[in-house]
């Protein structure tokens, strides 16, 4: 089960500890239901190829991810036949053991944007969580959790 909140943001956050950085390419075989492929290259680390299935929902939804071989990823990428979405994801440590993941999407292209997500262990924690500083609260002021048209799948449909 994936439990997460999402915000539209401007740029990278300031004053937080960077813990990881990934360059990613992702594409959609289907948006409803979501069937996605992704190449995730950790800066200074390994590259993983992932096939993901996501169920219906906004704050909470079933998510199944499995690693696949690079050859299968390439076959699926070819099957999709459209340019994949390029993302740079940076992860930042938050109080209470949470992680803020900030994504820069399609940098340099018209319509490029940033969004942020936080995953939570329970729905109750997701619903009750508030930023612990005024700076973080200002950065996360545009919450789009559950807002129609704000998913990456919808972005895929609009741009590819």
Distance of CA 5 to the CA centre of its chain: 11
Residue 158: pLDDT band with limits 50, 70, 90: very high
CA distance 65 to 10: 29
**Maximal C-alpha separation, the chain:** 47
Residue 50: pLDDT band with limits 50, 70, 90: very high
Q: What is the pTM of this model?
A: 0.94
CATH topology of domain 2-159: Hypothetical Protein Pfu-838710-001 (2.40.320)
pLDDT tens track for 63-86: 999 999 999 999 999 999 999 999
Question: Quick check: 155 and 6 in contact, CB under 8 A?
Answer: no
């Amino acid at each position: 089960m994936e439990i997460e909140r999402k915000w539209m943001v401007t740029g990278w956050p300031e004053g937080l500890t960077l813990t990881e950085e990934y360059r990613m390419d992702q594409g959609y075989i289907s948006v409803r239901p979501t069937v996605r492929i992704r190449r995730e290259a950790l800066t200074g680390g390994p590259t993983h190829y992932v096939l993901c299935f996501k169920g219906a929902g906004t704050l909470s939804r079933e998510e199944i991810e499995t690693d696949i071989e690079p050859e299968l990823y390439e076959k699926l990428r070819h099957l999709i036949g459209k340019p994949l979405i390029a993302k740079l994801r940076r992860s930042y440590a938050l109080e209470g053991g949470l992680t803020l993941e900030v994504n820069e999407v399609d940098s340099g292209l018209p319509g490029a944007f940033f969004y942020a997500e936080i995953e939570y262990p329970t729905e109750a924690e997701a619903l009750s969580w508030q930023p612990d500083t005024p700076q973080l609260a200002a950065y996360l002021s545009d919450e789009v959790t559950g807002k129609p048209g704000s998913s990456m799948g919808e972005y895929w449909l609009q741009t590819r």
